[in-house]
Every structure is written in structure tokens, then in C-alpha cells.
Amino acid sequence: MSYFENFNVDIFWDDSEYAKKEYISKPPTNEVINKIENDLGYKLPESYIWLMKKHNGGTPINNCFPTNTPTSWANDHIAITGIYGVGYEKSSSLGGNFGSRFWIEEWEYPDIGVAICDCPSAGHHMVFLDYRECGPNGEPSVVFIDQENDYKITFLANNFESFIKGLINEEVYEQEFDDYEIESIEISEDLLKLLKDEE
């Protein structure tokens, strides 16, 4: 089975010095994959393994994912910092110092699966593979867990590949914010005019 058809993974990653230091490892061997899966207790999605064999962890250029419900991050989207690689070497990898088990055991995130993305909130939000419905050997969905909102779980995508393909650039939301600011200024000027007319 092939993955990520009609999707250019070569322009997906932002290989900054930070990403190289914190996230990116050499492609995982089958032995490392098996060890990680045994340690975490879950079978990783084939699409995840496929992508990590091409580029093992890192920071994506498109780092936002739209949501239908508000979170403590934003009203209409979430943001990620990086995607965890399969390995133990880097701090931000599945088996690293800040890997999946760290967030469950130290930060008390719900034990529903595997933490695969950290977020700009420095631990207060995480993206997980959610195995609650499919079981440890099934195809997990992808969810956002909001630690600041009593660990509220927000559904993002049916599977890992859909999540990756659905990421969009943060500039989309920055433009919306700029438009909102302009609109707010215009409204404020209108209100000032009305107030002056009433004087």
C-alpha cells in the first residue's frame, strides 16, 4: 500500500538548526520501530512509519490544523511545534526525554495512545494518536489534548495521513487576525464619529 499520494513530502519540512537538534534522527530501523512499539504498547500507523523512514521527525512548514470547536489555543485551529520521530536519541522523539510516556507519566495526560506532536504552549497542549476505539493494534485517530482545559480531547482527523495532509500555514490565521484588527479599527472610528455627533 502506498501513502501520501499527490503530496510532496520533500517540501513539507523546515530543516532549521533547532529541528536538527531537537527532532530529526536518522531513519529508524525495523528493530528500533519494534522496540518503540513494544515500549509504548501500541502499533504505530503504517503511514507514520512510512513518513518517518523518509524524514524521521522534525518541524513542518505548515504547522496549523483547523478545528470546528474552540480550544484554549484558538477559536478555529490548533498549532504544533514539531512531529516526533521514531527513536530514542532526540529529546523530542517517541522514546526521548520528552517522548510519549513523559507526557502521560509526568504531566498526567490521559493514557489513550501515543503523543506525536508537541505544541507552542510548552506542554500545555499535545497531539496524540488515539487508540480508544481501535485498540492497540488498530488504526488510531488523531486528537488534540488541552491540558489547560482539564485535558479536554478535540478530534482532529481520522488517521495520521489525513492529519498531515490537513496541516496549513500559520500565515492563513495571521491574515485573518490582521483583517479582524482592521475591521475593529474601522468600527472604533465609526463609534467615535457617532459619539461626536451626539455631543
104-135 confidence digits (pLDDT tens): 999 999 999 999 999 999 999 999 999 999 99
pLDDT the model gives residue 2:
85
Sheet bearing 152-157, strands edge to edge: 82-83, 113-118, 125-130, 141-146, 152-157
Sign of the four-CA dihedral 29, 35, 37, 39: negative
Report domain extents, the chain: 9-168, 171-199
- Which one-letter amino acid corresponds to residue 70? P
pLDDT the model gives residue 197:
57
Residue 168 bridge partners (DSSP): 64
DSSP 72: S
Rounded-to-integer distance, Cα 13 and Cα 34, Å: 25
Q: pLDDT class for 175, splitting at 50, 70, 90?
A: low
Q: pLDDT class for 56, splitting at 50, 70, 90?
A: very high
Does the pLDDT of residue 191 top 90, yes or no? no
pTM assigned to the model: 0.87
Q: What percent of the chain has pLDDT over 70?
A: 87
Rounded-to-integer distance, Cα 81 and Cα 54, Å: 19
CA distances from 141 to 98, 136, 144, 156, 196 (A): 22, 12, 10, 8, 56
Window from 1-5, 20-24, 178-182 with minimum mean pLDDT: 178-182
Window from 21-30, 78-87, 187-196 with minimum mean pLDDT: 187-196
Rounded-to-integer distance, Cα 90 and Cα 9, Å: 21
Of 154, 151, 49, 136, which Cα lies nearest the Cα of 94? Answer: 49
3-state class of 105 per DSSP? helix
- CATH for the stretch 9-168: 3.40.1580.10
Instruction: Give the mean pLDDT of 29-44.
Output: 98
Q: CA angle 129-134-140, nearest 5°?
A: 25
